[in-house]
Amino acid sequence: MLWIKNGQLVDPIKGVMEQLDLVIEDGRIAQQPPRGVFKPEGEQIEVIDAAGKVVVPGLLDMHVHLREPGFEYKETIASGTLAALAGGFTGVACMPNTSPPNDCRAVTEFILKKAALAGFARVYPIAAISVGQKGEMLTDFGDLKEGGALAVSDDGFPVVSSELMRRALEYGRYHGLMVISHSEDRTLSGDGVMHEGFVSTRIGLAGIPDAAEDIMVYREISLARLTGCPVHIAHVSTATSVELIRRAKEENLPVTAETAPHYFSLDHNALRGYDTNAKVNPPLRALKDVEAIKRGLAEGVIDVIASDHAPHSVLEKEVEFDKAAFGLIGLQTTLSLTLELVREGVLGLPEAIAKLSLRPSRILGLGSGHLEAGSIADLAVIDPDVEYEFKASDVLSKSKNSPFIGRVLKGRSDLTLMGGKVVWRRIP
């Protein structure tokens, strides 16, 4: 038996903060007695004092690149899932752009086997939409589902053919697999390396216009309307995307969306020093986009915050800006940067936690992300007030490509539990 006492409990289902204790038995949440009421009797009991801390469901990151198989020098399933635990995440959904890509059951099963061997955060494989992520032929959704995939995406690449995307949505619904769209018109993004705007002109880099994203977001919404099938838009970065998704939701179309912390914490000015760690796809946008993303989060247009954790080694980042890979790591900074939105008044704490747990869980069809009695005790104990400098030496990922290294951040996870057991603890 485990007793977590004196904490503030945030249950995203209830949407409030409460002064409740948590009692865990046999790896599951047994009861939530009011503070000071629970009196343990006799048996062996482990006690965690969470005074001044916030106790939340284990966070779920629905957009992570674990790089295994094939790019183990950037990240492995073991290193990525350990970084996840340190960030407060007990679950990660991993994207298929590995080598080979996760386009068949053998790869899905390999990922699950490696994740079980590592024994850190739970891993939910996202399989490819098309064979080889080439956009030509659909993968075998039924077989992938049986192998353990719970969504499909060609992330890293757009699905160029609208007809193929239509079929993906139809087969995805039939098999109960969410389809996740990397929305990008490559004929427009072309050789661009950052947001097309004032800064790209000023510093002389090729731009990626926001229309490259908006056009594809509009297509996905049109296909959701045509087929009635659900679609989830990954890494939303533009004001127009937010507006399009808002209207789709007003129409009651089955469209959901996520953004990543860098799209509400940074803008294209972060590229002025040619920092390749701020080179990401879609690119960091203009201030008006950052404002729109925040409004979209506040108004529920954007359902989820996901890291888009995209590790790349120094080999791909310490090169000329044009040649550097797109992507930045985020598993260990996502919670802190999201808590910044709470301090700014953009989100209440329960809603911020919901966007990191309950909402992604529901989109992926998992039953987790809340603290109802009987649920598996996957939890994070957060210190919301601690200030710390995020250092390269804090990074548990194999790659250190974060534009937030050296920044003073506030709030982080101190303790992560899975199935009622402490699986990660911050050493003070």
User: Closest Cα to residue 120, out of 91, 63, 81, 86?
Assistant: 81
Distance (Å, whole) CA 136 – CA 274? 36
Q: Looking at 308, 378, 385, 394, which residue is catalytic?
A: 308
Residue 61 near Zn ion by CB under 5 A = no
Shortest Cβ 245–ligand NCD spacing (Å): 18
Comparing CB distances to ligand NCD, the nearer of 276 and 368 is 276
| CB contact at 8 A, 375 and 29 | yes
Record the tokens describing residue 300, joined without a space. Answer: 């529920």
Residue 155 near Zn ion by CB under 5 A = yes
Whole-Å CA distances, 142 to 92, 153, 177, 336, 409: 22, 15, 9, 38, 43
Residue 182 near Zn ion by CB under 5 A = yes
Instruction: Assess whether 308 carries a catalytic annotation.
Output: yes
Shortest Cβ 380–ligand NCD spacing (Å): 24
Shortest Cβ 258–Zn ion spacing (Å): 10
Comparing CB distances to ligand NCD, the nearer of 130 and 413 is 130
Residue 279 near Zn ion by CB under 5 A = no
Residue 258 near Zn ion by CB under 5 A = no
Shortest Cβ 312–ligand NCD spacing (Å): 6
User: Closest Cα to residue 278, out of 403, 391, 406?
Assistant: 403
Shortest Cβ 311–ligand NCD spacing (Å): 8
- Positions in the binding site for ligand NCD (CB under 6 A): 65, 97, 155-156, 182, 280-281, 308, 310, 326-327
Q: Which does 327 bind (CB under 5 to 8 A by kind): ligand NCD, Zn ion, none?
A: ligand NCD
| CB contact at 8 A, 323 and 334 | no
Comparing CB distances to Zn ion, the nearer of 122 and 182 is 182
Residue 232 near Zn ion by CB under 5 A = no
Comparing CB distances to ligand NCD, the nearer of 306 and 358 is 306
Residue 268 near Zn ion by CB under 5 A = no
**CA torsion angle 220 300 344 353 (round to 10):** -100
Beta bridge partners of 34: 20
Rounded to the nearest 10 degrees, the angle between the axes of helix 77-86 and helix 105-118 is 50
Tell the burial category of 392 from Cβ atoms under 10 Å away from its Cβ (0-12, 13-18, 19+). exposed
Residue 285 near Zn ion by CB under 5 A = no
* Residues annotated as part of the active site: 308
Residues that bind Zn ion (CB under 5 A): 155, 182
